[in-house]
Amino acid sequence: MDVNGLEKLKKQLQQLREQFPKEATLTVGWDQNCRYPDGKYVAPIALLQEYGGIVPAPPDMKGKSTVRIPARPFLRPCIAQHEAKWDYILAQGVKEAVTDKSLTGEKILLRAGLTMKADLKASISAVTAPELSPYTIRKRLEKNPYSADALKMGMPAKPLQDSGYMLRSITYFLRPGIPGKGGSS
């Protein structure tokens, strides 16, 4: 047994551990200040799409006071499908960093964050059901000058794809603390 090699590995792991925040959460989604051009926050709308809910009816929807938005899950399926891959990316990065001094904790988290962001975008783009209501499709056509190609692809009827802003504004960031542990989340 090579005790010197073991001590060297222990030292390298300690140096790598010091590069990572003590308790932090890599978050992928929407910054709390991210807003649509009309001022509405993106994250609550994304959650409404994920879980569904009941919202006030638009003023031009005569005879209705509320409207049910059906759940169009994209976040939970994304996590279920890709969580093991994300864990692997982080674990593999730590293994590589033992021998590659240029691979810092920040770079490992960047690699994972970029992958998670791409996976979330793909998950949103994959949502095709439940179908949009005729009212929603009509309103989209009234406000958006869809190209002939977009119309052929069915963009006015594609869930979660109205302006594309929710998709474009996905980001990732490191937050201090671990959700559910202590006071940070």
Is residue 43 a part of any domain in this protein?
yes
Is residue 17 a part of any domain in this protein?
no
Under 8 Å between Cβ of 141 and 122: no
Domain extent at residue 119 = 25-175
Residue 20: other Cβ atoms inside 10 A: 15
Is 14 a residue whose pLDDT tops 80?
no
Please report which confidence band the pLDDT of residue 179 belongs to, taking 50, 70 and 90 as the band edges: low
Is residue 48 a part of any domain in this protein?
yes
Give the total number of structural domains in the chain. 1
**CA 174 vs CA 29, 48, 116: distances in Å:** 11, 24, 13
Is 73 a residue whose pLDDT tops 90?
yes
The token pair that represents 93 in the structure block: 């990065």
Is residue 138 a part of any domain in this protein?
yes
Is residue 123 a part of any domain in this protein?
yes
Helices (H), 2-74: 3-19, 42-51
Is residue 20 a part of any domain in this protein?
no
Is residue 184 a part of any domain in this protein?
no
Please report which confidence band the pLDDT of residue 9 belongs to, taking 50, 70 and 90 as the band edges: low
Residue 8: other Cβ atoms inside 10 A: 12
pTM value > 0.85? no
